[in-house]
Amino acid sequence: MSNTTTRRGALSGVRVLDFSHQAAGPWCTTLLGDMGADVIKIEKPGRGDSIRYADRSGRLPPEIGGLNFQGLNRNKRGITIDIGAEQGVALVKRLAPKADVVVENFRPGVMDRHELGYTHLRAVNPRIIYCSITAFGPRGPLAQKPGMDLIIQATAGLMGHTGEEGGPPIKSAPPVADINTGIYAAYGICGALFERERSGEGQHVEVAMLDAVLSLFADNAANVLTEHTMFGKFGSGHPDLVPYQAFPASDGYFIVACLTNAFYKRLASVLGRDDLLNDPRFATNPSRVQHREHVVGVLSDIFKQNTCAHWIALLEANDIPTCRVNRLEEVLASEQIAENKLVVERDDPKRGHISVLGPPVHLSRTQTCFERLAPMIGEHTDEVLKELGLDDTEVAALHAAKVV
């Protein structure tokens, strides 16, 4: 592994060439960067990653990158290479022997057409770990179909089961297809790096966004595949647990999560509703699932009579799992997030003041940290190229040819 990174992270010394764009691939490489990997984000000169342009405030120009870009691309250095030019391809092949990992999320076949696919780079570096992220997989009837978070959420069944029965399909608020895929890709890369320590050989890691999202239904899919269950919409709850959902209070929504029958018995008792215990329709969780509408209706009528704070205090005093349904601005401002030190604030001469989320994983011996904000287009091109062996004349010639 390379030794340019000085941070003491679990992946210190691992160099990543990141050709990915938008969200799934960049999130994967951000997670690797959190662990200390030297992530080099490679973008097209003059244009860069298209998510740079997603800035609702209009405060940050694309060459810096809007806040969406900032949130997904911490802990990376940025360079530009035009892989559509022969000199650009030659440059990548010159860099690849000094890299440990390559990440790309183009449609299947794009990198091969540029002679930068796994077999091409493996020829110059047999130890390379090459991760390909696709929307639907490298083969099959949907392989060449364009896919982004919304398309994958719909195709994989997430939208079809989200929302209330009788209502329209609803996407998950965060881009779970992108984020979940990025996590799986980082997981696969770490596994391949570990195996390489034994064999000395690299390998091809493949992750389809469709598979990553469908895996979120692991428990429900077992029911569909084995018992041919046909689930409806899940609402705010769980198809196999009642009550286990959001309920309306007089001033908002809060959660009642009776994961076990013991929690349910305490709930009925504290509400003074022995009928919810004695009626055989409600005595067990399976029977409550069968009579979900009645149980939820009775509880909803009760909970609407007082505030979220009242019910949460009462349930917590009786060891019944509960919480308020928060909005994003509320949880970000909470004491718990402050204690977890998840929010990172930075002031930069060119970017201004930026607050973003930092690494969510912490290791006791090898640190994870927020070392740098997302790179500007080509911010580290000269630095990286010279570090990897090019001299001033070569770098100047590449600039003149608009390859970098």
Tell me the per-residue pLDDT of 294-323, one tens digit each, with 9 for 90 and over.
Answer: 999 999 999 999 999 999 999 999 999 999
> Are 40 and 77 contacting, i.e. CB atoms less than 8 angstroms apart?
yes
pLDDT in tens, 10-62: 999 999 999 999 999 999 999 999 999 999 999 999 999 999 999 888 889 99
pLDDT of residue 102: 98
- Binned at pLDDT 50, 70 and 90, residue 220 comes out as very high
> Are 73 and 65 contacting, i.e. CB atoms less than 8 angstroms apart?
yes
pLDDT of residue 291: 94
pLDDT exceeds cutoff 80 at 4: no
- Binned at pLDDT 50, 70 and 90, residue 111 comes out as very high
pLDDT exceeds cutoff 70 at 112: yes
pLDDT of residue 11: 97
pLDDT of residue 44: 97
Give ∠ CA 104-358-33 in degrees, rounded to 5: 35
pLDDT exceeds cutoff 70 at 1: no
pLDDT of residue 58: 86
Mean pLDDT score of the chain, rounded to an integer?
A: 95
- Binned at pLDDT 50, 70 and 90, residue 8 comes out as confident
pLDDT exceeds cutoff 90 at 6: no
pLDDT exceeds cutoff 60 at 5: no
Q: Which of 55, 100, 149, 178 is an active site residue?
A: 178
Provide φ and ψ at 279, rounded to 5°.
-70, 125
pLDDT of residue 57: 85
| Mean pLDDT score, 373-402 | 96
pLDDT of residue 381: 98
pLDDT in tens, 252-271: 999 999 999 999 999 999 99
Q: Is 18 a catalytic residue?
A: no
- Binned at pLDDT 50, 70 and 90, residue 3 comes out as very low
- Indicate the pTM of the whole model: 0.93
Q: Which residues contact 255 (CB under 8 A, 6 or more apart)?
A: 236, 245, 246, 247, 321, 322, 323, 324, 325
| Mean pLDDT score, 381-402 | 96
| Mean pLDDT score, 66-79 | 97
pLDDT of residue 284: 93
| Burial of 200: CB neighbours in 10 Å, binned 0-12, 13-18, 19+ | exposed
Q: How far is residue 280 from each of residues 263, 271, 287, 291, 302, measured CA to CA in Å?
A: 17, 18, 8, 11, 21
353: its two tokens? 């003041």
- Binned at pLDDT 50, 70 and 90, residue 2 comes out as very low
pLDDT exceeds cutoff 60 at 7: no
- Binned at pLDDT 50, 70 and 90, residue 74 comes out as very high
| Mean pLDDT score, 79-92 | 98
> Are 275 and 302 contacting, i.e. CB atoms less than 8 angstroms apart?
no
Other beta carbons within 10 Å of 279: 15
Provide φ and ψ at 135, rounded to 5°.
-75, -50
pLDDT of residue 370: 93
> Are 76 and 18 contacting, i.e. CB atoms less than 8 angstroms apart?
yes
Residue with tokens 């299947």: 108
